[in-house]
Amino acid sequence: METKVQVEMTAEQAEAFKQFQEKQAKEEAAKKRKEDREAYAQLVDSEVEAAIPELRSLSEQMLAVKRKVYENFGEVINIKSNVLKMTKDTQRTHTFTHSNGKMRLTLGYNCIDDYRDTVNDGIAIVKQYIESLATDTKSKELVATILQLLSRDGTGNLKASRVLQLRKLADKSDNDQFKEGVQIIEEAYQPSLTKQFIRAEWKDEHNKWHIIPLSVTDVEQTETKQEANEDNDNQGTQGGTV
């Protein structure tokens, strides 16, 4: 049994003892926080060391599968070009659908719109013509709308889709200057091919297409959506049964 001893102190001694206890408590708390930080750092190191080799292995497997798919479909694309009388180098994506209509694969390159310097000459010609049409308030508003098609994106390039809209307007205008400017812009188009991609899809029993997730981020999002759909289905089933 613990024996309690009563000690008499002066006010000064009691205050000094109180300060000593507070100091000791602070030191112990600081020591505990340091130990917690060290334990956290060790936990991080341990989990990172465990995760990185697995993720590297996954990345290598995905790269190997990607190479195999492209190698296997290389001959398919060659045959496609011969059968359909197409120049394969001008087509940036190829979609292949199984005869049963339940599986689909798309191979290709991501593309960034880019232009040679001569695009500026074409833009100047088009602007000169368009601005000449601004004769009153109504036509000025129309001109401003058309000029928006010549606005550049964040990388300083024109959008190819907007150039297509300009081409339609030029064909309707019957103006040689307008057509020439748009043609110069089109001829200056020099897209940059970036990364190769594979898009794989399958169709369920309800004839709905599903994209097969091929990245860690996509897998997480897909699982979350599937879980949400399952929860909704379960709620609907529970609410509709007796």
The model's pTM = 0.60
Q: Report the pLDDT value the prediction gives residue 48, as an integer from 0 to 100.
A: 97
For residue 103, give the nearest of 2, 205, 203 by alpha carbon.
203
Kindly tell me the burial class for residue 129, based on how many C-beta atoms sit within 10 Å of its own C-beta (0-12, 13-18, 19 or more): buried
Residues 6 or more apart whose Cβ sits within 8 Å of residue 95: 104, 105, 106
For residue 75, give the nearest of 196, 83, 10 by alpha carbon.
83
Same structural domain, 129 and 67:
no
Does some domain include residue 238? no
- Residue 84, SS3? helix
Phi, psi of 109 (to 5 degrees): -120, 140
Does some domain include residue 10? no
Phi, psi of 118 (to 5 degrees): -65, -10
Query: What is the full per-residue pLDDT of the chain (242 aa) written as tens digits?
Result: 567 767 777 888 888 888 888 899 999 999 999 999 999 999 999 999 999 999 999 999 999 999 999 999 988 888 887 787 666 556 788 999 999 999 999 999 888 888 999 999 999 999 998 888 888 777 888 788 888 888 888 778 888 889 999 999 899 888 899 999 999 999 999 888 888 899 999 999 999 999 999 988 877 655 455 555 545 444 443 333 32
Same structural domain, 152 and 107:
no
Q: Report the pLDDT value the prediction gives residue 229, as an integer from 0 to 100.
A: 53
Q: Report the pLDDT value the prediction gives residue 59, as an integer from 0 to 100.
A: 92
Q: Report the pLDDT value the prediction gives residue 239, as an integer from 0 to 100.
A: 39
Does some domain include residue 45? yes
Does some domain include residue 223? no
Same structural domain, 99 and 83:
no
Q: Strand 192-203 to strand 209-211: parallel, antiparallel, or no bridges (unpaired)? A: antiparallel
- Quote the CA–CA distance of 129 and 183 in Å, as a whole number: 14
Q: Report the pLDDT value the prediction gives residue 215, as an integer from 0 to 100.
A: 85
Tens-place pLDDT, residues 207-228: 999 999 998 887 765 545 555 5
Does some domain include residue 55? yes
What does the chain come to in residues?
Answer: 242
Dump the DSSP string for 32-65: HHHHHHHHHHHHHHHHHHHHHHHHHHHHHHHHHH
Domain that includes residue 71, residue range? 15-91
Helical axes 119-131 vs 176-187, angle rounded to 10°: 160
Does some domain include residue 69? yes
Neighbours of 12 (CB within 10 A): 8
Does some domain include residue 145? yes
Query: Alpha helices, DSSP H only, in the chain?
Result: 11-84, 119-131, 137-147, 160-173, 176-187, 216-240
Q: Report the pLDDT value the prediction gives residue 11, as an integer from 0 to 100.
A: 83
Overall domain count for the chain: 3
Does some domain include residue 235? no
| Strand arrangement, sheet containing 103-112 | 93-97, 103-112, 192-203, 209-211
